A and B are shown apart, each in its own frame.
Chain A
Amino acid sequence: MKEKFKLTLCDGPSCIHNQSKEIRAALEAELSQHGLADQVSIHLSGCLGMCKQGPILIVNPGFTMYGKVEVADIPNIVKSHLVEGSPVAEKVIREDHLYNRFFRIFGDVDFFGKQMRITLRNCGIIDPENIDDYLSVRGYEALAKVLTDMKPEDVVAEVKKAGLRGRGGAGFPTGLKWEFTANQESDEKYVICNADEGDPGAFMDRSAIEGDPHTVLEGIIIGGYAIGASKGIVYIRAEYPLAIERLEKAIAAAKEHGFLGDNILGSDFSFDIEIRLGAGAFVCGEETALIHSIEGSRGMPRPRPPYPSVSGLFGKPTLINNVESWANIPVIVLDGGDWFSTIGTETSKGTKVFALAGMVHNTGLVEVPMGTTLREIVYDIGGGIPNDKAFKAIQTGGPSGGCLPAEYLDTEIDYESLAKAGSIMGSGGMIVIDEDACMVGLAKFFIEFTQDESCGKCTPCREGTKRMLEILTRITEGKGKEGDIEKLERLGHMIKNASLCGLGQSAPNPVLSTIKNFREEYEEHIRDKKCSAGQCSALLSYVVNDNCVGCGACKRICPVNAVEGTRKEKHVIDQDKCIRCGQCYDVCKFDAITKA
């Protein structure tokens, strides 16, 4: 029978205390009593951010939201709404919140169930190139509210109250940053949006700008008002042409409507935003390097203090925040800092966007409340590991982060817990690794990246990462020596302690964390000259086994003529000639080649 209703029941920690388990049981009992069990499905969602009203029950289609649901209400809701079709008006809550709008469309898809969308609230819902779409979802109302009712210091206080922390990765309290910059006396101040997203495989900022550019702009304008700036700059990499195009369109439309320019919305606040393109250097995501790049100098970091909030762009006080931080601002203004601070953990408030990639069924962009466990992301949202492979590790924070093995799966995500586990929050890259991956090779990949992107200004980073890469290359080629692991550790700690900027200070993390959690793999590579994951080609050998029927496919494809044998007889691979390209392994239809 065709399904008629989908029910979503809030399963956040607070709602569990409010008996959502009992409610579910009552629902199931009541549904089967009315013979509706196969026409109605019940889904559990993560925290919906409405804990005061919890437990929440959402009925789709129609997106009817019931609040403070008690077991005693269930018979009535089922009978009058699901059977007779008229919602129980006195239990329905109508809140005009900005977040979680996607539930109206995606509420019935498991992938979205545990998510909570604040920064991505309009992504995938509205037309990003049409300002009317943004206006229709209370767009620029936060700006209007700020200009009507709030003094700059009130805005700063609201952001402080929210407990928002920098989403670029370091997690510095955003409100404090705003306060420092606001307190500076200067004839000119600047606001910068850092959209120089550089982690391999991360695309949170790109999607946010492409899906909802006006949110970011609105956040920046509010920031400008709060600290007393008249000029904003979006620093975005030139590799994001569509994001740039939509941002340009959005800025033009905002100017046309008077949200940018002189006397915004009839007030005496004037503000303008321009776009600066970066050439894609990873280090330019570091704030002082970014400022140098905008000034027209070479993108290299400088020692801090002075921090940009005191002396930033052109020596003026400058407020720099990441795209995701900016996108939170309109919500904090409209829904309130108090509300925002109810989401998340003790130290980390709100949500975080992750680019979930690697070996999971559902790769994609996810936004979860802080405090969600890694397990929930990998298994509930990501749908688990494909091909029945085992989970091996999860890599967070890109080239600055670390790899966490299975025992950390129940870690509740926040800045502190991830750091304690030996990784970092980072800007939001999240790569799931299955049993087939070689951790030494993975560490080498990230060191190759940071080594390549090191600007060369300070010696520990420039020379240190190069030496680490040499050692790792040696190990993966079977030329590792006793003492290499210790040498890597020593180098790693030295680079961490002595480097000038965040790039160098975090560059050894992938190596150090894999040594900490997967030391035996390093030892295997060095002592046994073996890579059990079968990824380090120099440590592999391809051998023909007894399945061989002598078809000759491997012989024909081998680029160096290393396969010998006559037709219909077992072939042999000459190990001296073999370059371990693996083509024979791929072409064999009889599983007759063993990779060892």
Chain B
Amino acid sequence: MVTPIDIIKKKRAEAVNRIISKGYLSTKRVYVGMATCEIAAGSKEVMGEFRQAIANGLTDVYLSQKGCAGRCNLEPTVEVVEEGKIPVKYGKVTPERAREIVERHLKKGEVISEWLI
């Protein structure tokens, strides 16, 4: 008999596959904070910049939103996660900073240390 546990395991495997098919295994994963507080601080515009960059041909990047991690005074926050490296966490990201993160970090691999949390 198929138990609920069996069903959930199958569902999880399917979910992971769907996430992977969206590009989760890209070299860099970018997470933009999108809770009420972050949106109030301007994260929608920041998200827009990253979307634009991908539409303009930026590849090997997985873009996702996330909830509030709790760093209210540093919002909007953006994380760039790369397997095997310390995740890079940017605070107070503006659309201008987002564009620079795209150019310098996502394209050239340079961590912009002065904006780190």
The contact string, 1 if C-beta is below 8 Å from chain B, for chain A 214-258, is 000000000000000000000000001011000000000000011
State whether A120 touches B15 (Cβ < 8 A): no
**A387 at the B interface (CB under 8 A):** no
Q: Determine whether the beta carbon of A141 is less than 8 Å from that of B67.
A: no
> How far, in Å, is B88 (CB) from chain A's closest CB?
10
What are the residues of chain B within 8 A of A138 when measuring CB–CB?
Answer: 12
A265–B4 alpha-carbon span in the complex (Å): 5
CA distance A258 to B19 in the complex (A): 20
Known: A132-B18, A141-B12, A243-B36. A123 touches B4 (CB 8 A): no
With A6-B86, A125-B66, A144-B8 known to touch, is A240 a contact of B36 (CB < 8 Å)? yes
- Which residues of chain A come closer than 8 Å to B81, judged between CB atoms? 105
Q: Which residues of A contact B33 (CB under 8 A)?
A: 124
| Interface pair B86/A364, CB less than 8 Å apart | no
A207 to B117, CA, bound (A): 20
A543 within 8 A of B: no
Residues on B with C-beta less than 8 A from A123 are 66-70
Interface residue A473 (Cβ < 8 Å from any Cβ of B): no
Range of interface residues on B (Cβ < 8 Å): 35 or more
Distance of A372 from chain B, by nearest CB (Å): 15
Interface pair A102/B69, CB less than 8 Å apart? yes
Docked-complex contact B37 and A140, CB < 8 angstroms: no
- Answer yes or no: B48 CB below 8 A from chain A CBs: no
From A267, which residue of chain B is reached at the shortest CB distance?
A: B4
A residues 111-153 in Cβ contact with B at 8 Å: 111, 120, 122-133, 135-136, 138-141, 143-145, 147-149
| Cβ B4 vs Cβ A143 within 8 A | yes
Q: How far is the CA of A240 from the CA of B85 in the complex (A)?
A: 36
Q: Give the one of A145, A210, A258, A264 with max B CB within 10 A.
A: A210
Smallest CB gap from B64: residue in A = A127
- When distances are taken between beta carbons in the complex, the residues of chain A under 8 Å from B26 are none
Which residues of chain A have C-beta atoms less than 8 A from B15's C-beta? Answer: 131-133, 135-136
Given A144-B8, A147-B4, A363-B73: A108 and B86 interface contact (C-beta under 8 Å): yes
Q: Hey, what's the 0/1 contact readout for B62-99 against A, CB within 8 Å counting as 1? A: 00111111111100000101001111010000000000
Kindly state the separation between the CA atoms of A63 and B107 in the bound complex, as whole angstroms. 26
* Size class of the A contact interface (CB-based, 8 Å): 35 or more
- Interface positions, chain B 3-17, Cβ under 8 Å from A, are 3-5, 7-8, 11-12, 15-16
Say yes or no for B54: interface residue by CB 8 A criterion.
Answer: no
B107 vs chain A, min Cβ distance (A): 21
A124 touches B72 (CB 8 A): no
Q: In the complex, are the beta carbons of B67 and A145 less than 8 A apart?
A: no
Complex Cα distance, B16 from A398, in Å, reads 41
Which residues does chain B contribute within 8 Å of A210, judged by CB atoms?
Answer: 35-36, 67-68
State how many angstroms separate the Cβ of B30 from the closest Cβ of chain A.
Answer: 12
Q: A242: which B residues are within 8 A, CB to CB?
A: 35-36, 39
Q: Which residues of A contact B70 (CB under 8 A)?
A: 111, 120, 123-124, 207, 364-367
Which residue in chain B gives the minimum CB-CB distance to A3?
B86
A364-B79 in contact given A109-B117, A148-B5 (Cβ < 8 Å): no
Please determine whether A111 and B71 come into contact, CB atoms closer than 8 angstroms.
Answer: yes
Q: Tell me if A308 is interfacial: C-beta within 8 Å of chain B.
A: no
B2 within 8 A of A: yes
In the assembled complex, the Cα of A135 lies from the Cα of B18 at a distance in Å of 11
CA distance A139 to B13 in the complex (A): 12
Q: Is A296 an interface residue (CB 8 A)?
A: no
* Residues 282-308 of A at the B interface (beta carbon under 8 Å): none
> What is the minimal beta-carbon distance from B48 to any residue of chain A, in angstroms?
17
Determine which of A133, A145, A207, A266 lies in contact with B19 in the assembled complex, contact meaning CB atoms within 8 Å. A133
CB of A59, distance to nearest CB on chain B (Å): 11
Which residue on chain B has the smallest CB distance to residue A128?
B67
Contacts of A127 in B (CB 8 A): 64-66
Residues of A within 8 A of B79 (CB): 105
Residue from B11, B37, B67 whose CB has the most chain A CB atoms within 10 Å: B67
Q: Which residue of B lies closest to A111 (CB)?
A: B71
Q: Is the CB of A145 within 8 A of B5?
A: yes
Of all chain B residues, the one with the shortest Cβ separation from A207 is B68
Given A106-B89, A267-B4, A364-B70, CB of A207 within 8 Å of CB of B12: no
List, in ascending order, chain B residues with CB within 8 A of A35's CB.
Answer: none
| Interface of chain A residues 330 through 362 with chain B (CB within 8 A) | 361-362
Whether A109 contacts B4 by the Cβ 8 Å rule is no
B111 CB to closest chain A CB, in angstroms? 10
Contact with B along A140-169 (1 / 0, CB 8 A): 110111011100000000000000000000
- Within 8 Å CB of B73, what residues of A? 361-364
CB nearest to B85 among chain A residues: A61
Q: Which residues of A contact B64 (CB under 8 A)?
A: 127, 130, 133
Q: Nearest Cβ distance between residue B72 and chain A, in whole angstroms?
A: 4
| A-B residue pairs, 7 tightest by C-beta | A211-B67, A124-B69, A365-B70, A265-B4, A135-B15, A144-B8, A132-B15
Instruction: List, sorted by A's number, 20 A–B pairs whose CB atoms are closer than 8 Å.
Output: A61-B86, A62-B84, A104-B87, A105-B79, A124-B67, A124-B70, A125-B67, A127-B66, A131-B15, A140-B8, A140-B11, A147-B4, A203-B37, A207-B37, A207-B68, A210-B67, A264-B4, A265-B7, A266-B4, A365-B68
